[in-house]
Amino acid sequence: MKALQFGRELNIKRIIKLMREEGPLSRVDISERTNIPQPTITRITEELLKENLLKEVGYGTSTGGRRPVLLALNHTCYYSVGVEIGRTKVKIALTDLNGNLLSFRKKVSEKSESISSIIEYIKDVLEAILEETGIERSCILGVGFGLPGPLNENAEGLISPPNFYNETSIPLKALLEDALQFEVIIDNDANVAALAEKWFGKGMGYDHFAYVIADVGIGSGLILNGELYRGRYGESGEIGHSTINLFGERCSCGNYGCLETYASLPKVEENFKRKLKLSPRNESVYLGGKLIEEVTFDDIINALENGSEAAKQTLEETGLYLGVGLSNMINVVAPDMVIIGGKLREGNDVLLHAVKAVIQSRVLGPSAKKIPVVLSEFREGVVLGAAALVINSAFGLFSRS
């Protein structure tokens, strides 16, 4: 795809976008919807059929003459590999162009582990996956990576994510390309998870939306004008460190009263534990014999489902703070939709209801007040998004090259 001329490449990307969103379509339909002249469409679709990117899938309805041949995207002509390198785990996924997971592996990683042993693990797993599935290396578009943000990338491409296997100023892209012998693209976890929504999830068909990953940390990825907005140095989207309370608790970033000090996973668990300790004894029946100190977010959800008032209050308060953070963002960016992902999305309707109520009362514009706020469907949004990063680069209308 690299040797394509610019105009032709743009036309191909427009056709692929249309086919993904509205296919199968006839050549006439494609020409009408893209405003690309029919002879050009005929020529390009012939090439894409030869390349196996498109396939014929039957006949449409006749408008008088012969029934038109319908074309569809062949989502298994190329594949993508996504890798999530988190602080405590590494996940690797092979997907087709529609984001279907064909293979998935993960392992727990230790803080003390060296980055070279993690690269070695990724290399071994990748080789094993290719052998297992029988997919040719030439059919893999590349390998995308989602890392904890901010990447703190410098002009030479060296990155320094915080608390990242004791590494700073590491030429990770070069190291990975050297080890894997594939093109490698790296971005932060919130950005790649936003791309997973754009390509395979609830963001499909939307050109302006905000994705929030609410987990151990809180970050966001913005899709604006159909493109991932990265800010000047790739440091946009740090919603977790927006100030909620000027005089609040000290945050891991050094500031005070950041959103993360209220609505991140450890803080939500802490809040629940505090409520349990203060509550009448009957609340601990919802823990199923577990000690208060060992409670995790899953226990909060279990307790909620069994009728715990403390769990309900905890999720409502979390939704309140998350909603304030989101309202601030909506007032500035005015997206068409907000998608909540990360572990906190499992806080289901209670959390979502609280978030929506705050947005209703705090967002200014009458249409912005009604903005859809939805929960992501992806349990593995980051690794899937890492695969989407590669697909976006190859076929996205506004891809980063």
Nearer to Zn ion, 251 or 339 (CB): 251
Q: What three-state secondary structure class fits 80?
A: strand
Closest approach, Cβ 261 to Zn ion, in A, equals 7
Fill in the per-residue mask, 27 to 66: x = in contact with Zn ion (CB under 5 A), - = not in contact. ----------------------------------------
Q: Which is nearer to Zn ion, 120 or 249 (CB)?
A: 249
Least Å distance, CB 234 to Zn ion, is 18
Q: Which is nearer to Zn ion, 218 or 301 (CB)?
A: 218
- Minimum CB separation of residue 258 from Zn ion in Å reads 3
State which of positions 236-255 bind Zn ion (CB under 5 A).
Answer: 241, 251, 253, 255
DSSP 99-150: --EEEEEEEE--TT--HHHHHHHHHHHHHHHHHHHT--GGGEEEEEEEESSP
Q: How far is the CB of 149 from Zn ion (least distance, A)?
A: 13
Q: How far is the CB of 99 from Zn ion (least distance, A)?
A: 32
- d(CA 148, CA 324) in angstroms, rounded, equals 23
CB neighbour list of residue 138: distance below 8 Å, 6 or more residues apart: none
Query: Is the peptide bond between 150 and the residue preceding it cis, with omega within 30 degrees of 0?
Result: yes
CA 189, CA 183: separation in Å to the nearest integer?
19
Taken in order 115, 116, 118, 122, the sign of the CA dihedral is positive
**For Zn ion, the closer CB: 218 or 384:** 218
**Span 202-241, contacts to Zn ion by CB under 5 A:** 241
Q: Which of 258, 311, 329, 383 binds Zn ion (CB under 5 A)?
A: 258
69-73/54-59 β-pairing: antiparallel
Using CB under 5 A, count the residues that bind Zn ion: 5
Torsion of Cα atoms, 332 then 334 then 335 then 340, to 10°: 60
> How far is C-alpha 276 from the geometric centre of its chain's CA atoms?
34
Instruction: State the minimum distance, in angstroms, from the CB of residue 263 to Zn ion.
Output: 12
With respect to Zn ion, which residue has the nearer C-beta, 258 or 358?
258
For residue 273, state whether it binds Zn ion (rule: CB under 5 A): no
Q: Which is nearer to Zn ion, 198 or 267 (CB)?
A: 267
- Supply angle C-alpha 280, 281, 284, rounded to 5: 115
292 interacts with Zn ion by CB under 5 A: no
Q: CA Rg, the chain, in Å?
A: 23
Alpha helices in 250-379 (DSSP H): 260-263, 265-278, 297-305, 309-333, 348-362, 366-369
Quick one: which of 295, 350, 296 has its CA closest to 323? 350
Q: Which stretch binds Zn ion (CB under 5 A): 64-72, 209-217, 226-234, 258-266?
A: 258-266
Nearer to Zn ion, 81 or 322 (CB): 322
Q: How far is the CB of 327 from Zn ion (least distance, A)?
A: 18
Q: How far is the CB of 160 from Zn ion (least distance, A)?
A: 17
Whose Cβ is closer to Zn ion: residue 258's or residue 373's?
258
Binding site for Zn ion (CB under 5 A): 241, 251, 253, 255, 258
